[in-house]
């Protein structure tokens, strides 16, 4: 509850040097990230973020336009999409399903990298206006580029099937915690999931 | 919590004939179902249900013990688990993955039968105390009996992997609505999913 500092547009941190524009923006995003993940999308307000970040609420609108845009800016992907592509395609196209499944498992098993995805999922389920975001972030930025580069028919459909398995796993293993999936070893899940990733990405199941 | 009925147990509707016990119970469950699915688990209150059902709130506690138990009682499965088993195993064990996938697709594609699953999913994501219910309803009552009857190693793990794909599809296709999965034809999804059901249920991917 850092109620302090009136509403001075770009407040100084204590009495020190005032933050520059990018410092203010960064402070807003950091605070937004914290509140979205702790309170969920619905209970987070621009006013509350502004207060805790110690900035004028109008600055949030100035920088981000809307709550939804601020949410989008605050979603961290565990890694940059370009880097994901490098890792996933590192051993050629045959290795893609295995690399993608292993990368997903390691991202979801680490609480730190899982958190933004979890926040996104909660928001998507409870707030219709936030639902489009999971699509942009998970499907368009991550899975579709993979499916497109793998090649084959209808990469969008393949990517969204993959998305359905990824969010299903996140939900059942980490959010709801259904046993024994919640406690299953990474090795067992890899055995279970790699063939499914292979099938969705490269399987020959689509009609001519 | 059986505090019993200090409260004129079974209230009449207006001045008419008093409902019998089972009529009151049924009226509570019907109203609970409506409110849980419209308001979500978090915003539904026992008081609100009692008011709309026209019964004393203490009666709800008398019959159901807690909000969570009332929620559980109000979850309708689209069909009885025994009937599901009959349908899924109707053409022998080889037909199980296909029958199960087709049954799931038809249940999820019909707004009427999808609604209780959707309500359950929303509740599970937003309310930790409701999360155990999706496990009991989806996994223990539906998928585990199928996996057990199919046979093979670790039916619980197989059932929960299947659950992860089912709730992932429900989420991506129907709740969040990620295209092109949201608009994909039933035929294409059947082609995509039957091999995955086959793999999770009967695949030989578990180590000795």
Token pair in block for residue B111: 């707004």
Interface of B with A (CB under 8 A): 40, 121-122, 124-126, 131, 134-135, 139, 154, 156-157, 160-161, 163-169, 171-173, 175-181, 184, 188, 191-192, 195-196, 199-200, 203, 205-207
pLDDT for the residue B19: 61
Over residues A97-112, mean pLDDT: 92
Sign of CA dihedral B187, A200, A125, A177: positive
Check: CB of residue B115 under 8 Å from CB of residue B148: no
Report CB contact under 8 Å: B205, A199: no
pLDDT surpassing 60 at residue A17: no
Could you give the residue ranges of the DSSP H alpha helices within A44-80? Answer: 46-53, 57-64, 67-74
SS3 at position B62: helix
pLDDT for the residue B36: 82
Give per-residue pLDDT as tens, A71-97: 878 876 667 788 889 999 999 999 999
Give per-residue pLDDT as tens, B116-130: 778 778 777 777 666
> Any residues with CB less than 8 A from the CB of A111 and at least 6 apart, and which?
none
CA distance A39 to chain B (A): 11
Report CB contact under 8 Å: B178, A192: no
Name the pTM for this structure. 0.79
Check: CB of residue B152 under 8 Å from CB of residue B158: yes
Report CB contact under 8 Å: A131, B163: no
Q: Which residues of chain B have pLDDT under 50?
A: 1-17
Sign of CA dihedral B176, B177, B181, B184: positive
SS3 at position B21: helix
CA distance B186 to chain A (A): 12
Residue with tokens 């793999």: B199
pLDDT for the residue B139: 84
Please give the torsion angle defined by the CA atoms of residues B145, B186, B77 and B44, in that order, rounded to the nearest 10 degrees: 130
Report CB contact under 8 Å: B122, A125: yes
Nearest neighbour of A181 by CB, restricted to B40, B122, B164: B164
Please give the torsion angle defined by the CA atoms of residues A48, A7, A30 and B42, in that order, rounded to the nearest 10 degrees: 0
Q: Which of B16, B14, B44 is nearest to B29 (CA)?
A: B44
Residue with tokens 């959010």: A175
pLDDT surpassing 50 at residue A19: yes
The rounded distance, in Å, linking the Cα atoms of A124 and B171 is 9
CA distance B10 to chain A (A): 36
pLDDT surpassing 70 at residue A154: yes
Please give the torsion angle defined by the CA atoms of residues B163, B166, B171 and B173, in that order, rounded to the nearest 10 degrees: 170
Report CB contact under 8 Å: A178, B166: no
pLDDT-derived band at A13, boundaries 50, 70, 90:
very low
B11 C-beta neighbours (distance < 10 Å), count: 15
A43 C-beta neighbours (distance < 10 Å), count: 11
Nearest neighbour of B164 by CB, restricted to A40, A121, A169: A169
Half-sphere exposure of A178 (CA within 13 A, CB side): 31
- Specify burial of residue A61 (Cβ count, 10 A radius: 0-12, 13-18, 19+): middle
Residue A120: in which H helix or E strand, if any?
helix A111-126
CA distance B178 to chain A (A): 6
Q: Which of B133, B142, B180 is nearest to B160 (CA)?
A: B142
pLDDT for the residue B12: 39
Residue with tokens 């368009």: A140
Token pair in block for residue B199: 């793999």
Residue with tokens 């006013």: A47
Q: Which of A83, A175, A74 is nearest to A133 (CA)?
A: A74
């Amino acid at each position: 509850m850092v109620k302090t500092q009136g509403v001075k547009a770009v407040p100084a941190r204590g009495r020190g040097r005032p933050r520059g524009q990018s410092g203010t923006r960064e402070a807003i995003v950091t605070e937004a990230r914290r509140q979205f993940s702790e309170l969920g999308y619905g209970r987070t307000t621009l006013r509350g973020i502004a207060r805790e970040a110690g900035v004028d609420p109008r600055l949030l609108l100035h920088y981000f336009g809307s709550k939804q845009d601020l949410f989008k800016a605050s979603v961290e992907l565990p890694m940059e999409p370009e880097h994901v592509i490098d890792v996933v395609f590192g051993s050629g196209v045959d290795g893609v399903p295995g690399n993608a499944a292993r990368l997903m498992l390691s991202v979801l098993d680490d609480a730190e990298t899982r958190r933004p995805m979890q926040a996104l999922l909660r928001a998507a389920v409870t707030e219709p206006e936030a639902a489009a975001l999971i699509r942009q972030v998970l499907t368009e930025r991550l899975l579709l580029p993979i499916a497109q580069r793998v090649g084959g028919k209808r990469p969008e459909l393949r990517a969204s099937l993959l998305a359905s398995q990824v969010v299903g796993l996140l939900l059942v293993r980490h959010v709801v915690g259904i046993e024994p999936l919640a406690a299953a070893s990474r090795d067992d899940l890899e055995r279970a999931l790699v063939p499914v990733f292979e099938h969705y990405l490269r399987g020959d199941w689509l009609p001519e």
